[in-house]
Structure 1
Amino acid sequence: MANVIKVNTQSDESIIECLPAACEVLDKGGVIAMPTDTIYGVAAKVSVTAGIQRIYNLKGRDQSKPLAICCSDISQITRWSNCSIGEDILKELLPGPFTLILERSTKLNPDLNPGVQSVGIRIPDSALCIKLVAQLGEPIALTSANISGKSSAISIEEFKELWSEVDVILDGGPCNQQEDRRGSTIIDFTVPGKFSIVRVGSLCDETVKLLTEKYGMQNITRQ
């Protein structure tokens, strides 16, 4: 059974208190469950291959489906990707409910999404996520806390089937999330000057308008 740690996600003190236990687990190749700005997720340290593999195993996830990574600030994005979009766009979108697909950096663990030349990067609008990654000192691999194909979870009670499979659960109570439980909007920026919506999620329509009207980017989303 996982170690459940209650955390007040609105309190910096409460967040800081939970970080040592979570980081210790991640450093050792463990997996944690935690709330994000959209839904609950499961996470492992990007540089630890054993943790990445555990995520696939506990979710029953297809090995060909890439995992996104979570950074703590915009300056890290250029370390872990070859970013093709300007800092002004990054600051518009992040932190926020978006996953940006960019060309991956050679600095990333080659066992993370092997054979895939891009990487999805998140900076959730979540003090807990940001402070955890900052203390860890490198990104986490992050995906939804559910068995693959099942509904996403906005409370820890909704992923009970995973409780015995993860090492630590950071219980921040119900996520502040819309009823349709959409995760992040996934946007592919690998083609310079263009973008495509890979998955419709939070704030999708508003973001398409922003990118096309304010930044003059071409929307090449497949119909």
Structure 2
Amino acid sequence: MRLELHPQNPNPRNLKTIIECLKDGGVVIYPTDTVYGMGCDIFKHEAVERICRIKGIDPKKSHFSFICYDLSHLTDYTKSVDTPLFRLLKKALPGPYTFILPASRQVPKMLKTKRDTVGIRVPDNLICRTLVKELGNPVMSTSLPIDEYVEEYTDPEIIHDKFGKLVDIVIDGGPGGILPSTVVDCTGPEPELIREGAGNWEELV
């Protein structure tokens, strides 16, 4: 199923359908402020396993991130963040960054890495942030089952044609990007750039 949601004013009825799907353990493809991603409710174990099967990956070796509504989720899903780091996060988010942080006990075990970390995203995109807000907890986020994002994967219709049968809903929120988020590891003494993407690292530090 492909459902359209206006980027600034999402249709409440379509939104409700998507939220119900996530609550029932569904898997959706949705827009972010970078590329289109695939995800589910972080507490739906079977949905996470299904995404791993779709992508042909081992959940134990995978790195997933969470889409959060805002920084208030940090206290729930990460261990204490010091003031300089919080300032950095506040400056960058909402925005095209993924921050790797120490995971709290509330993070489902299968979504933690061996290092006990979790990736946190607060995209500058009203659709995915509204989904999280309405759902009441973060949405797991991972890339589409492709090797790289190219021009055709910016078009939700093409995404639906290629992957619509693998997931429950493809959310059409208009054209997506081809650059993924910039990934920053914040578990060491200094933040470290892991992947340069859509977010400008120089501006951040």
Asked whether the two chains share a fold, i.e. TM above 0.5, the reply is: yes
Tell me which amino acid in the other structure corresponds to 1:141. Answer: M
Tell me whether 1:189 sits opposite 2:190 in the alignment. no
Structure 2: stretches of 5+ with no match in the other structure: none
- Rounded to whole Å, the distance in 2 between the matches of 1:70 and 1:115 is 20
> 1:184-216: CA deviations, max 9, x gaps?
000000013x01111110133434xx32xxxxx
Q: In the alignment, what sits opposite 1:155?
A: 155
Moved more, 197-206 or 32-41: 197-206
Tell me whether 1:68 sits opposite 2:69 in the alignment. no
> 1:89-124: CA deviations, max 9, x gaps?
221011000000000011111122363410000000
Q: In the alignment, what sits opposite 1:49?
A: 45
Moved more, 157-166 or 51-60: 157-166
- Rounded to whole Å, the distance in 1 between the matches of 2:70 and 2:191 is 22
Q: In the alignment, what sits opposite 1:219?
A: none
Q: In the alignment, what sits opposite 1:22?
A: 18
Q: Between Structure 1 and Structure 2, whose CA radius of gyration is higher?
A: 1
Partners of 2:94 and 2:123 within 8 A in 1: yes
1:167/1:81 CA distance change after superposition, 3 Å:
same
Q: CA deviation at 1:85?
A: 4.2
Tell me the secondary structure at the aligned position of residue 38 of structure 1. coil
Q: In the alignment, what sits opposite 1:34?
A: 30
1:131/1:112 CA distance change after superposition, 3 Å:
same
Moved more, 119-128 or 160-169: 160-169
Tell me whether 1:103 sits opposite 2:106 in the alignment. no
Partners of 1:19 and 1:132 within 8 A in 2: yes
Structure 1: stretches of 5+ with no match in the other structure: 212-223
Q: Whose relative contact order is higher, 1 or 2, with alpha carbons under 8 Å and at least 6 apart?
A: 2
- Rounded to whole Å, the distance in 2 between the matches of 1:19 and 1:82 is 32
Partners of 2:33 and 2:96 within 8 A in 1: yes
1:57/1:78 CA distance change after superposition, 3 Å:
same
Q: CA deviation at 1:148?
A: 4.0
Q: CA deviation at 1:66?
A: 1.2
Q: In the alignment, what sits opposite 1:58?
A: 54
**Out of 190, 193, 203, which is 2:199 matched to?**
203
Q: Which protein has the bigger helix share?
A: 2
**Aligned residue-pair number:** 199
How large is the Cα RMSD of the aligned pairs?
Answer: 1.7
What's the % identity of the aligned pairs? 32
